[in-house]
Amino acid sequence: MADLDTGAVLGACGAHVPGTPASTQKLLLAATMLSRLDPKQVAVATRADLDIEPGSSAVGLLVGGRYSVETLWLGLLLQSGNDAANMLARLGAGSTQAGVAEMNAQARRLGAGQTHAVTPSGLDGPGQFTTAYDLALIARACFADAAFRRYALTERTQIPAQPALKKGGFQIQNENQLIYRYPGALGGKTGFTELARHSYVGAAQRGGRRLVVTLLGAEARPVRGWQQGAQLLDWGFGLPRDASVGRLVEPGEGDAEAAEPRNAPAAAPARTVSPPWRGPAGTALRRVGEGDWRMIVPLAGLLALTVGGVAAVLAARRGRSRRRGRRRA
């Protein structure tokens, strides 16, 4: 839970635990490509654009169909179209995979260092992950864009007919129930795969504050993801305005810190080199070698006592050995 304007983090649980994003990854696509593409541009859908997992969410684009970029964004955010995601990534970078590479570069710029995209749509792929904290960074970048805010709050739109393909148009609706049922809702993004389970990003404004909530790995019980988000938003709006347990980093902040010159450490003061410590025995031997009689005389006496003691012990043991030998005979 974070404040979209101040960047204050109001509360978090497992904020930096990696998870799979599902379709909330489409927000990273939006944060990357919205400023690159002219919404009035019209492009033709290719067969590769429609190469998505069977049964996954799609707008219903047609090979050879002509669609404006604005229509593709609406299809992406309202209907979670994986076909629209592929097409937008291609239009923004030249190919779908190049678009994914740009998404990862954008994640780094935003400070979302625990995010790695493999697909533009959020369909599961090996090595794809994000965190709830990173999603908040990405969502903050999205909601700073007026076009995104308009798309995210759109309730329904018309996918145009394709006369050349003899196909009629049809209507799609926004799947994010928050915009219909939560006063002050700003929109967001739903997500689900079997691996990721339910993910959710939702934002709302109340009393001059704009808050965003991000969820990863949720289950649709006891209430659905958007309802869990709504309850957390209620909790966030109930906190004092200065409540904070942390903050969201600003775009480029990590790069700036890494590039910041650091003062060279002060030179250590010169120290007098002391001779190596030899211990008491080593010191005594050195003094004897130097002819110090204060050490020679006590050591000579100690040596004499030691030799005498050893001789006495040997004599006593010899005597006991003789007595034991007589008893054995």
Residue 23 catalytic? Answer: yes
Q: How far apart are the first and last CA of the chain?
A: 99
Task: Identify the active-site residue in 57, 80, 121, 199.
Answer: 80
Task: Identify the active-site residue in 26, 57, 121, 189.
Answer: 26
Residue 166 catalytic? Answer: no
Residue appearing with tokens 């890494």:
258
Residue 26 catalytic? Answer: yes
Q: What is the 3-state secondary structure (H, E, C) of the chain?
A: CEECCCCEECCCCCCCCCECCHHHHHHHHHHHHCCCCCCCCEEECCCCCCCCCCCCCCCCCCCCCEEEHHHHHHHHHHHCCHHHHHHHHHHHHCCHHHHHHHHHHHHHHHCCCCCECCCCCCCCCCCCEECHHHHHHHHHHHHCCHHHHHHHCCCEEEECCEHHHCECCEEEECCCCHHHHCCCEEEEEEEEECCCEEEEEEEEEECCEEEEEEEEEECCCCCCHHHHHHHHHHHHHCCCCCCCCEECCCCCHHHHHHHCCCCCCCCCCCCCCCCCCCHHHHHHHHHHHCCCHHHHHHHHHHHHHHHHHHHHHHHHHHHHHHHHHHHHC
Q: Which residues form the catalytic set?
A: 23, 26, 80
